């Protein structure tokens, strides 16, 4: 449904998006993850046609956004992060205007607007002026705007920002439901959101794609070589030991109280993980540190996210 | 022109849903009403002085006084066109709503034309009630409707060109004040350059150039029923070039 090849955007001497390529299959819900400033919004704006790329192509259902922008844009429902709205309009007026702009026929316009109002759960404020609505409601008006006209591709940039926990749950359910017959690219830095509603994740950091695939696959790939140890020692005693194991790529030490510490360690990919883990445990025991518990890191997307974005930053 | 009609309707709606649109209309009609009363007084005074004024002469004086050789017309253009056009693009960019348009299946030409014709339609609604004034004047004097037609053509051409310049200035700006200021400077600059015809010797290129752009002279001609095709070309060119440049500016925003 959405195919991106070598997409690049430069601002003066800074490359905001650097030759990224990925594919979003029809009917899937894909999480587009990355820290602030990673290039998520720039990428989404390029896909939506608000921003031109310096290089690369964006194909929406096989149609290039540069070569046939009107056809490509008619297939997209875009909800930007800071939802822009004509606040002097009533919600229903705004959605009717947007439906007409998206070429929804006069015959179907009212039903399309009604459906969007119900899906975004804003039917109760349909006749109110947008300027009188809370931030959460405005956010959902933006979601209704993206939904109106039933575009096959939805680009949602932080759709649950400013919503209360109940609304967040409902919007997540809606996105999950939409995934059946529409394709959704969900940009967010809320990792639990991606885990809750997405089939796949694309991670971007400093303008580059650092991971792309089904969530289970992405996490499994990066869980390899990651272990968690509980030891009886002060944090200060552990660092020299960890430093002596040259195959360690990352060590996080956290005090667990009662003279205990928790170590989260990751070995270099080329290392023989289990043998290196044995070496680490032996080295700790050798200096008198009691090892209470050893096991694989219960890593989830958050861990992968931290790992990958830190790797690119370094 | 895909997307023109819904955008045009929204533009018109936006002008009249805010108090600013109604305030502008009120100011315009108050000024024009006052102006018309002054012109009537002036024509009446002339008629009283003249031994045997014909009704037709009085009618021509009234129309030419209302549309030509009067500072009121230009005052209105300076006062009301910049606020009318300043928000067209500058406001959309300031509030970020331009993204709603850039990501919709709308061509750049349709976007610019909808903004332009929206402002022009408002300008026409300002002038439309002034036809009533002339209707009232027919009760006291004969009116040459051919001359009236020429005057409205002039008012329309000047307004169309200034609005196109205002929309262009708005597209160049990111805030309302600079859009307003830029439009005032362009309109005032054109007016002042035209006024150079009164301080230069006839026959010089400077005089000829100033006369070519002088809105004062153009309206004075039209106010006596002279329609010169050069004026149509002049204002038509300003309008077309401004719309063309604005369309290019809008296309360029995708690459900022």
Residue A146 CA, distance from chain mean position: 18
* Interchain proximity A50–B106, CB inside 8 Å: no
Q: What is the pLDDT of residue A314?
A: 55
The 10s digit of each residue's pLDDT in B118-158 is 999 999 999 999 989 888 888 877 788 888 899 999 999 99
C-beta pairs of B47-53 under 8 Å, 24+ apart in sequence: none
B95 in contact with A, Cβ within 8 Å? yes
* Interchain proximity A73–B10, CB inside 8 Å: no
Distance CA B85, CA B241 (A): 17
Q: At what angle do helices B205-213 and B176-195 cross, to 10 degrees?
A: 130
Low-confidence ranges of chain A (pLDDT < 70): 220-224, 298-303, 307-308, 310-314
Question: In the beta sheet, which residues pair with residue A209?
Answer: A204
Q: What percent of chain B has pLDDT over 70?
A: 96
Sheet holding A63-64, edge to edge: A14-24, A2-11, A55-60, A63-64
Distance from CA of B104 to the nearest CA of A (A): 6
**Terminus-to-terminus CA distance in chain B, angstroms?**
24
Summarize the confidence of residues B175-204 as an average pLDDT: 90
* pLDDT confidence tier of residue B219, bands split at 50, 70 and 90: confident
CA quadruple A113, A118, A123, A127: dihedral, nearest 10: -10
Q: What is the pLDDT of residue A167?
A: 82
In this model, does residue B106 exceed pLDDT 70? Answer: yes
In this model, does residue B103 exceed pLDDT 60? Answer: yes
Q: What is the pLDDT of residue A113?
A: 96
Q: What is the pLDDT of residue A220?
A: 66
Q: What is the pLDDT of residue A12?
A: 82
Nearest Cβ partner for B105 among A45, A70, A88 = A70
How do the domains of chain B map onto residue ranges?
Answer: 4-253
3 state SS of A19: strand
Mutate to test the interface with B, among A10, A67, A69, A96 (most CBs of B within 10 A): A69
User: Which residues, 6 or more positions from B2, have their beta carbon under 8 angstroms from its beta carbon?
Assistant: A70, B105, B106, B107, B110
Distance CA A208, CA B55 (A): 81
Q: How many CA atoms lie within 13 A of B231 on its CB side?
A: 23
Q: What is the pLDDT of residue B50?
A: 66
Please state the pTM of the whole predicted model: 0.83
Q: What is the pLDDT of residue B226?
A: 85
CA quadruple A111, A114, A120, A124: dihedral, nearest 10: 180
CB A191 within 8 A of CB A305: yes
Distance CA A49, CA A70 (A): 10
Q: Which residue has the tokens 């992405």?
A: A218
Q: Which residue has the tokens 């300027």?
A: A131
User: Which residues, 6 or more positions from B132, have their beta carbon under 8 angstroms from its beta carbon?
Assistant: none
In this model, does residue B53 exceed pLDDT 70? Answer: no
Q: Distances from the Cα of B61 to the Cαs of B45, B58, B134, in angstroms? A: 12, 5, 12
Rg over alpha carbons for chain A, rounded to the nearest Å, is 24
Nearest Cβ partner for A70 among B10, B18, B107 = B107
B106 contacts in chain A (CB < 8 Å): 70, 101
3 state SS of B1: coil
Tell me which of B63 and B229 has the higher pLDDT: B229
Q: What is the pLDDT of residue A122?
A: 92
Q: Distances from the Cα of B49 to the Cαs of A253, B45, B65, B143, in angstroms? A: 104, 6, 17, 20
User: Which residues, 6 or more positions from A306, have their beta carbon under 8 angstroms from its beta carbon?
Assistant: none
Q: What is the pLDDT of residue A68?
A: 92
Q: What percent of chain B has pLDDT over 90?
A: 44
> What are the phi and psi torsion angles at A286 (to 5°)?
-60, -35
Distance from CA of B77 to the nearest CA of A (A): 27
B251 contacts in chain A (CB < 8 Å): none
b/e code B121-149 from CB counts within 10 Å (16+ = b): ebbeebbeebeebbeebeeebebeeebbe
The 10s digit of each residue's pLDDT in A73-93 is 999 999 998 899 999 999 999
3 state SS of A220: helix
* pLDDT confidence tier of residue B203, bands split at 50, 70 and 90: confident
């Amino acid at each position: 449904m959405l195919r991106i090849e070598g997409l690049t955007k430069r601002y003066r001497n800074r490359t905001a998006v650097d030759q990224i390529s990925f594919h979003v299959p029809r009917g899937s819900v894909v999480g587009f993850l990355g820290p602030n400033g990673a290039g998520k919004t720039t990428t989404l704006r390029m896909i939506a046609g608000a921003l031109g790329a310096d290089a690369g192509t964006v194909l929406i259902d096989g149609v290039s956004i540069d070569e046939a922008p009107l056809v490509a844009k008619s297939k997209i429902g875009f909800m930007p992060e800071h939802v822009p709205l004509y606040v002097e309009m009533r919600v229903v007026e705004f959605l009717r205007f947007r439906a007409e702009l998206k070429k929804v026929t006069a015959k179907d316009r009212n039903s399309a607007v009604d459906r969007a109002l119900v899906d975004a759960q804003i039917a109760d404020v349909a006749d109110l002026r947008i300027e009188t609505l809370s931030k959460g409601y405005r956010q959902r008006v933006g979601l209704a705007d993206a939904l109106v006209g039933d575009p096959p591709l939805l680009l949602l940039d932080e759709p649950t920002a400013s919503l209360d926990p109940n609304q967040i749950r409902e919007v997540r359910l809606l996105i999950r439901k939409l995934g059946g017959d529409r394709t959704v690219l969900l940009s967010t830095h809320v990792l639990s959101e991606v885990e809750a509603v997405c089939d796949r994740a694309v991670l971007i950091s400093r303008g580059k794609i650092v991971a792309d695939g089904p969530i289970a696959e992405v996490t499994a790939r990066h869980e390899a070589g990651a272990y968690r140890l509980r030891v009886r020692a002060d944090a200060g005693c552990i660092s020299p030991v960890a430093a002596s194991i040259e195959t360690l790529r990352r060590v996080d030490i956290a005090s667990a109280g009662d003279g205990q510490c928790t170590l989260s360690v990751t070995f270099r990919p080329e290392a023989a993980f289990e043998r290196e883990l044995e070496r680490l445990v032996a080295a700790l025991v050798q200096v008198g540190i009691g090892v209470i518990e050893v096991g694989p890191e219960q890593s989830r997307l958050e861990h992968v996210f931290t790992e990958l974005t830190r790797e690119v930053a370094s | 022109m895909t997307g023109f009609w819904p955008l045009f309707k929204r533009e018109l709606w936006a002008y009249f849903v805010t108090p600013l649109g109604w305030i502008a209309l009120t100011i315009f009609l108050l000024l024009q009403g006052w102006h018309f009363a002054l012109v009537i007084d002036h024509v009446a005074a002339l008629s009283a002085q003249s031994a045997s004024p014909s009704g037709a002469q009085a009618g021509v004086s009234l129309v030419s006084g209302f549309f030509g050789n009067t500072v009121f017309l230009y005052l209105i253009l300076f006062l009301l066109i910049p606020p009318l056009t300043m928000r067209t693009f500058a406001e959309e960019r300031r509030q970020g709503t331009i993204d709603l348009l850039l990501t919709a299946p709308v061509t750049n030409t349709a976007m610019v034309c909808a903004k332009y014709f929206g402002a022009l339609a408002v300008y026409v609604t300002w002038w439309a009630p002034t036809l009533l004034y002339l209707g009232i004047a027919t009760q006291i004097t004969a009116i040459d409707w051919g001359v009236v037609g020429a005057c409205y053509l002039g008012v329309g051409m000047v307004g169309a060109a200034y609005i196109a310049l205002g929309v262009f200035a708005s597209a160049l700006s990111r805030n309302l004040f600079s859009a307003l200021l830029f439009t005032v400077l362009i309109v005032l600059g054109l007016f002042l350059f035209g006024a150079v015809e009164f301080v230069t010797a006839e026959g010089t290129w400077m005089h000829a150039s100033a006369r070519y752009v002088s809105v004062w002279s153009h309206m004075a001609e039209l106010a006596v029923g002279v329609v010169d095709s050069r004026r149509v070309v002049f204002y038509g060119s300003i309008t077309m070039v401004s719309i063309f440049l604005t369309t290019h500016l809008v296309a360029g925003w995708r690459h900022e």
